[in-house]
Amino acid sequence: MSSSTSLNDEIRELDAAADEARDADPSAARKKAMDLLARREHSAGELRQKLERAGFVRDAAEAAIAGLTRDGLQSDERYVEAFVQSRVRQGKGPVRIRADLRARGAVAGTVDAALAAAATDWETLARSVREQKFGLGRPADFKEKARQMRFLQYRGFEAEHIAAAFDGASDDP
């Protein structure tokens, strides 16, 4: 019985050593990062977090990300552009998009450039989002207008976008 116990302990130790070696291997981290990038764009910060959660040591994750960036397979600019386009299609405003990207560790200059490059008419988008949610008619009273304005504010539109969303609405409910 003691020989099987020591054999099991030895196997566990070998497995642990193999896991540690893999977790410190930049090429294994690169493969995992490439698997993640094959699904969608990721920022360098997101990749780092996901690789560390997968058990890779920080140095291996950093080396893998640096190599992917150098090879053009990972780009924070490309990630931000794709993110902005995705959120615009969802009907989100610039304030919300900026906050979401900031929470994901994107650089402010990159975010501002991507928002400008999106060339989105925010007022038209705000109007479209309001009409899709509440219909073409004007709000019946101040309480309803305030509710709609809060909705647009939550979606990330600025005050002038929200005001424009109510311009041209028909008086018919």
- The pLDDT score that the predictor gives to residue 14 is 57
**What pTM, to 2 d.p., does this model score?**
0.76
pLDDT band per the 50, 70, 90 thresholds, residue 25: confident
- As a whole number of angstroms, the distance between CA 155 and CA 97 comes to 9
Better-predicted residue by pLDDT, 19 or 98: 98
Residue 32 neighbours by CB distance under 10 Å: 20
Q: Please, which residues have CB within 8 angstroms of residue 87's CB and are 6 or more apart in sequence?
A: 96, 97, 100
Per the prediction, the chain carries an average pLDDT of 87
- As a whole number of angstroms, the distance between CA 64 and CA 31 comes to 8
Q: What is the phi/psi pair of residue 170, to 5°?
A: -75, 155
Sign of dihedral through CA atoms 58, 59, 64, 67? positive
> Could you give the domains of the chain?
2-70 (no CATH), 76-117 (1.10.10), 122-166 (1.10.10)
Average pLDDT over residues 10-14: 65
User: Which pLDDT tens digit goes with each residue over 71-88?
Assistant: 999 999 999 999 999 999
